[in-house]
Structure 1
Amino acid sequence: MRILFVCGRARARSPTAEQIFSRWPGLETASAGVSHDADEPVEVDHLAWAETIAVMERAHRRKLTRRFGPALRHARIVCLNVRDDYAFMEPALVRLLEARARRFFER
């Protein structure tokens, strides 16, 4: 399964998710951000590659839909409801991501 993790600036939440879930068997991961100043901005190629798009907040889903509407039709979009309160690879963030994503990406 190819999963694109999306947050605002692609600096903490989505890169952390990309890294931890890349270790799970059967998952390929990438990360990007919806903000104009994202370290890795979301592009159509990211969306075409992904089978599942995991956004951190509902606002990210709305931004994706507004900007890329038709390019999202093939992918399942899930919201992990993870607020922007964490640093990259912060242990509390890792635990939260694993707990929230488990039902979507169970090993």
Structure 2
Amino acid sequence: MIYLDVNVLFVCSRNKWRSRTAEDLFKDSNVHNVRSAGTAPVARIKISEKLLSWAEIIFVMEKRHREQLKSRFPLILDEKEVIVLDIPDEYGYMDDELVELLKASVSRYLEL
């Protein structure tokens, strides 16, 4: 399913490399509103109820991120589409391979 004109949230652990890369990669979209956050206490931007409520579709980098969100915010997550991208924490910010992985993974769901 391709989502159009939606609020998109990318989530990883620290919001320094993967989800931040995704936000910066897709933030200039004329079709979607894009933000990012992290699940860890040391995250650059910490995940919050407000961010999750804002999001219409949530992309997490790993299954453990989805489980953390479901555990911490069960009522909000019941109504949200959460997609696991299966992108491991082995890339730096804007790494070429990470950019290609994100584009390939997200293009199944969003018009880029």
Q: TM above 0.5, one fold? A: yes
TM-score, reference length from structure 1: 0.95
Instruction: Give the secondary structure class of the aligned counterpart of 2:76.
Output: helix
Task: Please give the alpha-carbon distance, in whole angstroms, between the structure 2 residues aligned to 1:25 and 1:104.
Answer: 16
Which contiguous aligned blocks of 4+ residues in structure 1 show a shift greater than 4 angstroms? none
TM-score, reference length from structure 2: 0.91
- The percent of aligned pairs where both chains have the same amino acid is 37
Does residue 60 (structure 1) correspond to residue 65 (structure 2)? The answer is: yes
Instruction: Describe the superposition over 1:53-80 as per-residue Cα deviations: whole angstroms up to 9, x where unpaired.
Output: 1000000000000001101122211011
Residue from 2, 22, 30 that aligns with 2:27:
22
2:79 is matched with 74
Aligned pair count reads 107
CA RMSD in angstroms comes to 1.0
1:7 is matched with 12
The residue type paired with residue 22 of structure 2 is A
